[in-house]
Amino acid sequence: MGKSFKITILILGGIFIAVLMALVFFAISNGYSSRYMISKIFPGTVENIYKPYEIVEQSTSTRASITGCDGFVYILDDKNLTIYDDKGNEKSSEIMGFEDAYLSGGNNQVIVYNGPTGAYIIFEEGEKAYSDSIERTILGARMQDNGYTIFILKGRDGFLGGAAILNEANEIIAQYNYADRFPVSGCVVGDTGKFAISGIFENNTDNTGIDIFEEYNNIPIAGLNRDYLLPLVLSLGDEMFIAAGTEKVSVFNSTGSEQSSYEYNEIIRVNSSRLGCWIADRKTGSDKIIYLDRTGNEKWTYSTGLMTDGIITGERHIFYWSGINAVCLDEKGKQIEIQSGFDPVVGIADIGNGKVIVITTGNLVFSEYH
């Protein structure tokens, strides 16, 4: 019995060491720190703060666009695109040959596009992966978390405007044109293979029309009309989306059935992810952040005490900034420490693996969750 017990202990010990080594190898190869891995395996055993690990001097204008994904941060300042890796190394800096350059990022890819000509470039892992042109004026484009891109296009041939869907294989899978409304925004509806396109009617600019399409189908499966403005649509959870205006937010499922609706004072920021939706509502010079869970239910409200300049959702947390202040909240509305320095914050980028970059007018502050 004793010998069998010892053999069992040795076997279990060997398995434990093998698993531990595999985790270490996985962490190193994917850029994770040991503390981050511990926080994943044993929640609550580490400090629950963002600690700076690298500071890079970099002058960035307050008008710059910023996004992060897959271990890289992309900073588009006027026409100059600079890319940094998660160690603070400048990977590339290039003046884009675009008249008006714009930036949008998803989980694994980033798109930079030229509004007037319709040209665009897809970046992946800090490198150019694909380039093409939609050959129409792009009024706006948003890279979705699943790699799809929604283009909102200027009207032509008698149409007021249009929308196009680019899939993760860089194929245009659908185009929609409208003669009765101006399309404003679009989103993927979770994992359902459906898309929502929102627009404002030409003959009644206080009314919103939202169409829901299935992939590869140009005929909507549902059309929603509202006698108030809900021009911004964003994906929510696995099979829902939200539509937001300046005072209202409504939550719909993939068939267009309204699940919930809320009224606010003055909506100034809305952001969403698979974790839920965060709304910045302004009243008398101070903002509140309201969290809706992935099913569209209000869960908590957080008073910022500040006028919010920007808000983003990250891998695990939400971030907002105001002046020189950068603030992080967890999914329960509890504040998590994060440092920004003494310069005005331009933006925040979550690049995954527990790493976040606070971009100020004078520095890039690289921090990791502990």
In the predicted model, what is the mean pLDDT of residues 342-358? Answer: 96
What is the token pair recorded at 122? 């897809």
- As a whole number of angstroms, the distance between CA 362 and CA 58 comes to 5
Q: How far is CA 15 from CA 3, 18, 90, 271, in A?
A: 18, 5, 40, 43
Q: What is the pTM of this model?
A: 0.86
Residue 14 has pLDDT above 90, yes or no: no
pLDDT tens digit sequence for 289-306 = 999 999 999 999 999 998
Residue 39 has pLDDT above 80, yes or no: no
Alpha-carbon dihedral 257, 259, 265, 270, rounded to 10 degrees: -80
Residue 103 has pLDDT above 70, yes or no: yes
- Which residues are within 8 A (CB) of 164 and not within 5 positions of it... i.e. 6 or more apart? 134, 136, 150, 151, 153, 172, 174, 175, 176
In the predicted model, what is the mean pLDDT of residues 132-145? Answer: 96
Average confidence score pLDDT of the chain:
89
pLDDT computed for residue 274 by the predictor: 83
What is the token pair recorded at 263? 């009224």
pLDDT computed for residue 30 by the predictor: 44
What is the three-class DSSP state of 16? helix
pLDDT computed for residue 347 by the predictor: 97
The neighbouring-strand residues paired with 55 are 365
Give DSSP secondary structure letters for 25-50: HHHHHHT--HHHHHHHHSTTSS--SE
pLDDT computed for residue 17 by the predictor: 61
pLDDT computed for residue 13 by the predictor: 59
- As a whole number of angstroms, the distance between CA 292 and CA 290 comes to 7
pLDDT computed for residue 45 by the predictor: 43
pLDDT tens digit sequence for 55-99 = 999 999 999 999 999 999 999 999 999 999 999 999 999 999 999
pLDDT tens digit sequence for 45-58 = 446 899 999 999 99
pLDDT computed for residue 156 by the predictor: 92
In the predicted model, what is the mean pLDDT of residues 330-356? Answer: 94
Residue 26 has pLDDT above 80, yes or no: no
- As a whole number of angstroms, the distance between CA 266 and CA 268 comes to 6
pLDDT computed for residue 29 by the predictor: 46
What is the three-class DSSP state of 296? coil
Q: How far is CA 364 from CA 33, 60, 73, 357, in A?
A: 20, 9, 10, 6
Quick one: pLDDT band at residue 284, thresholds 50, 70, 90? confident
In the predicted model, what is the mean pLDDT of residues 1-28? Answer: 57
pLDDT tens digit sequence for 176-232 = 999 999 999 999 998 888 999 999 999 999 999 999 999 888 899 999 999 999 999
The neighbouring-strand residues paired with 75 are 66, 82
Alpha-carbon dihedral 341, 344, 349, 353, rounded to 10 degrees: 10
pLDDT computed for residue 64 by the predictor: 97
In the predicted model, what is the mean pLDDT of residues 322-350? Answer: 95
Q: How far is CA 165 from CA 93, 121, 149, 252, 271, in A?
A: 29, 15, 6, 20, 21
In the predicted model, what is the mean pLDDT of residues 30-36? Answer: 46
